[in-house]
Amino acid sequence: MAGAAVDCRNVTVRFVTDRRTVTALHDVSFDVEAGGFLTLLGPSGCGKSTLLRVVADLVAPSSGTAAVFGTSPAEARAARALGFVFQDAALLPWRTAIQNVELPLEVGGRRSLPAGAPTPRELMKLVGLEGWENSYPHELSGGMRQRVSIARALLGGPRLLLMDEPFGALDEITRDRLNEELRRIWQETGTTILFVTHSVYEAVYLGEQVLVLAANPGRVAARVNVDLPRDRELIIRETPAFTSIVAGLRDVMGRAGPRAAQGHRAA
Amino acid sequence: MSTTTLEAPLDPGQQAAEAAHHRRMRRLAWRRRLLPVAGIATFLGLWAFIVWFFEVPRFVAPSPQLVAATLVEKHETLLRNLVPTATQAIAGFILGNLAAIIIATVFVHRKTAEEAFFPVVVLINTIPVVAKAPILVLLMGNGMEPKIAIAALICFFPTLVNMVRGLESVNPQAMELMRVLSASEREVFFKLRLRNSLPYLFSALKIAASTAVIGSIVGEWIGSTTGIGALIIQSMYNFDSPMLYATVIVGSAFSVAFFALIVAAERFFVRWQPANPV
């Protein structure tokens, strides 16, 4: 499709080890429109993190192609079109919060900020950490560390933000608050977001669309539109519209195999 | 907890509990300071008592008072002999650790080099210090050089092993981050690996600080006329036990001071909390 932020066609990823060959992804095709918010939902082992890494040029597909804004993932990475938020915040413990946010300016050719892009300080404010700039990671809570890592990923105004279960290790209350703020950040920055999760509620609350993956081998089980208003408060999760989308997704996952059902219960 | 804090000034029970807590902490702090002193005093007392009670002859073992007197009386000789030993230990420490850091850097970037040469390093490390000393004296003569070489060799191995581990045990997600940011190998090394290795490096340096002194002393046992090691051998042949003990104490005191210096440097350079403690 024209104007696609991400376009994956027939992506297959195999990992060969001494004992066996694992097909992490089998013939996966999907796209995300520019400015969209797609959540990748599936049980552990369905290859959703691998898929994200194919888009980020961290894993090369065994066959098939991936394109980011019409270019290869490697070109998109070199052009700093991508921001990546990891499962653990992956902050450098010897750097203060603001120094961690500034890291992208110091490596990979020491770029200066594009004109009009928010400064590290402005990004700290955007993620609600004004006043914590000079704290070290060990002085911050898990939720705050993940906020810093989101600010770091947003530095330079990437057009695509890839998020790999960023809130998976946080308590439910912190997670809810960060979900709400991520929706706000998405609307404020206009960045395309591809978000991996194994929580059905998170997938539906955050996404404009949900791509459901099934395991063994990792493949697309369904793609569901989330027909909810753009401005969402957490309370929307109690509405019948929300509940029926969740029920529909659970049904898809249940039919995709018993392993899938187990996986989402564990979430 | 927050609810009790709100009514803190009004709650006498909490004030009493806090006062009791502070008293307990003060008592613990004093205990920590006094117990080691008491331990050392007991040890010295026991030593003095045994020497006196069994009438141990002076050439077998001195009383602590006699050692203390020798330390004061002979402090000039002792310090004059400490200078070469300390110089060799520090020079060996610097050379050995520098070599280890450089080789660890090469090993991390060139796996082939690690696979080829690590066995050689292990082999050299298996030779005991007392056996290395004569080999190096034959190779390098009777000056300071063989002692520096021994001190350097003894520091080298623990630092190499720790440094390789520190450079390699980088958070995999931080490595992926560097790749997403298109960081060069050089940038990954200076921004990530080197900083990550510091806690590991310092735990090796703390070991090296005391072993470098041991290496320097052992080197002096073979045909040296000055230094703590030579003084130990001389006083043993002269049955001068007070001098022997005094020399050992001076050597140990230097080791402790060297160790303390490294600990201070560690506190200065490693101010963050490592993600996974070494």
Residue bearing tokens 């993620």: A127
Contact A133, A98 (CB under 8 A): yes
pLDDT tens for each residue of A125-163: 999 999 999 999 999 999 999 999 999 999 988 999 999
User: From residue B232, how far is each of B17, B218, B259 by CA, in Å?
Assistant: 57, 10, 22
CATH of range A4-81+158-266; options 3.40.1160.10, 3.40.50.2020, 3.40.50.300, 3.40.50.970:
3.40.50.300
Cis peptide, bond prior to residue A217, ω within 30 of zero? yes
Compare A104 and B137 and report the one with higher pLDDT.
Answer: A104
**Partner residues linked to A30 by β-bridges:** A8
Q: Which two tokens stand for residue B133?
A: 């000393």
Contact A73, A65 (CB under 8 A): no
Residue B9 sits in the same domain as residue B147: no
Please report the pLDDT score of residue B59 as a whole number.
87
pLDDT band at A20 (very low <50, low <70, confident <90, very high): confident
Residue B151 sits in the same domain as residue B14: no
pLDDT tens for each residue of B40-70: 999 999 999 999 999 999 888 999 999 999 9
Give the β-pairing of A160-164 and A192-197.
parallel
| Closest-CA residue of chain A to B173 | A90
Residue B228 sits in the same domain as residue B174: yes
Domain of residue B89 covers 64-269
Q: Which two tokens stand for residue B255?
A: 């080791």
Residue B178 lies in a domain: yes
Residues 6+ apart with CB under 8 A from A218: A13, A23, A24, A25, A26, A28, A42, A45, A46, A47, A48, A50, A51
Rounded Cα–Cα distance for residues B1 and B207 (Å) = 43
**Partner residues linked to A63 by β-bridges:** A12
Please report the pLDDT score of residue B275 as a whole number.
52
Please report the pLDDT score of residue B3 as a whole number.
46
The segments of chain B whose pLDDT lies below 70 read: 1-10, 273-278
Contact B171, B275 (CB under 8 A): yes
By C-alpha distance, which of A122, A234, A109, A142 is closest to A180?
A234
ipTM of the complex: 0.89
3-state secondary structure chain A: CCCEEEEEEEEEEEEECCCCEEEEEEEEEEEEECCCEEEEECCCCCCHHHHHHHHCCCCCCCEEEEEECCECHHHHHHCCCEEEECCCCCCCCCCCHHHHHHHHHHCCCCCCCCCCCCCHHHHHHHCCCCCCCCCCHHHCCHHHHHHHHHHHHHCCCCCEEEEECCCCCCCHHHHHHHHHHHHHHHHHHCCEEEEEECCHHHHHHHCCEEEEEECCCEEEEEEEECCCCCCCCHHHHHCHHHHHHHHHHHHHHHHCCHHHHHHHHHC
What region does A157 belong to: left with phi over 0, alpha with psi -120 to 50, or beta? left
Rounded Cα–Cα distance for residues B169 and B165 (Å) = 6
Contact B134, B223 (CB under 8 A): no
Please tell me the distance in Å from B162's CA to the nearest CA on chain A: 19
Contact B228, B251 (CB under 8 A): yes
Residue bearing tokens 């991936």: A66
Please report the pLDDT score of residue B277 as a whole number.
46
Is the Cβ pair B181, A108 closer than 8 Å? yes
Rounded Cα–Cα distance for residues B116 and B107 (Å) = 10
Residue bearing tokens 């804004």: A69
Please report the pLDDT score of residue A266 as a whole number.
38
Rounded Cα–Cα distance for residues B246 and A117 (Å) = 69
Please report the pLDDT score of residue B4 as a whole number.
46
Residue B43 sits in the same domain as residue B116: no
Question: Model's pTM, two decimal places?
Answer: 0.83
Residue B36 sits in the same domain as residue B80: no
The secondary element (H helix, E strand) that includes residue B95 is helix B75-109
Q: Which chain A residues touch B176 with a CB distance below 8 Å?
A: 53, 56, 58, 84, 86, 90
Residue B128 sits in the same domain as residue B191: yes
Query: Long-range contacts for A119-128 (Cβ within 8 Å, ≥24 apart)?
Result: A120/A151, A120/A155, A123/A151, A123/A152, A123/A154, A123/A155, A124/A97, A124/A98, A124/A148, A124/A151, A126/A151, A126/A154, A126/A185, A126/A188, A126/A189, A127/A151, A127/A154, A127/A181, A127/A185, A128/A181
Is the Cβ pair B187, A104 closer than 8 Å? no
Q: Which two tokens stand for residue B232?
A: 């130990």
Residue B83 sits in the same domain as residue B206: yes
Contact A60, A84 (CB under 8 A): no
pLDDT more than 90, % of chain A: 76
CATH code of B104's domain: 1.10.3720.10
Q: Which two tokens stand for residue B12?
A: 């006498």
By C-alpha distance, which of A68, A70, A63 is closest to A52?
A68
Which of B176, B178, B198 minimises the CB distance to A107?
Answer: B178
Please report the pLDDT score of residue A110 as a whole number.
64
Q: Which chain A residues touch B183 with a CB distance below 8 Å?
A: 107-108
Rounded Cα–Cα distance for residues A89 and A103 (Å) = 14
Residue B71 sits in the same domain as residue B130: yes
| Closest-CA residue of chain B to A80 | B181
Is the Cβ pair B187, A106 closer than 8 Å? yes
Task: Give the CB-side neighbour count of residue B31, counting CA atoms within 13 A.
Answer: 6
Domain spans, chain A:
4-81+158-266
| Closest-CA residue of chain B to A57 | B180
Is the Cβ pair B273, A82 closer than 8 Å? no
Please report the pLDDT score of residue B124 as a whole number.
87
Residue B16 sits in the same domain as residue B91: no
Q: Which chain B residues touch A88 with a CB distance below 8 Å?
A: 171, 173
Residue B146 sits in the same domain as residue B166: yes
Residues 6+ apart with CB under 8 A from A73: A54, A55, A56, A57, A66, A67, A82
Cα four-point dihedral sign B45, B50, B55, B59: negative
| Closest-CA residue of chain A to B193 | A92
Please report the pLDDT score of residue A261 as a whole number.
42
Question: Does A262 have pLDDT greater than 70?
Answer: no
Residue B81 sits in the same domain as residue B211: yes
Task: Give the CB-side neighbour count of residue B11, counting CA atoms within 13 A.
Answer: 12
Q: Chain A to chain B, count of Cβ pairs less than 8 Å apart?
A: 66
- Count the Cβ atoms, other than its own, within 10 Å of residue A123: 26
Cα four-point dihedral sign B58, B62, B66, B69: positive
pLDDT tens for each residue of B5-43: 454 556 788 888 999 999 999 999 999 989 999 999 999
Residue B277 lies in a domain: no
| Closest-CA residue of chain A to B186 | A107
Compare A39 and A254 and report the one with higher pLDDT.
Answer: A39
Rounded Cα–Cα distance for residues B21 and B16 (Å) = 9
Residue B222 sits in the same domain as residue B117: yes
The count of structural domains within chain B is 2
Distance from the first to the final alpha carbon of chain A: 33
Please report the pLDDT score of residue A112 as a whole number.
82
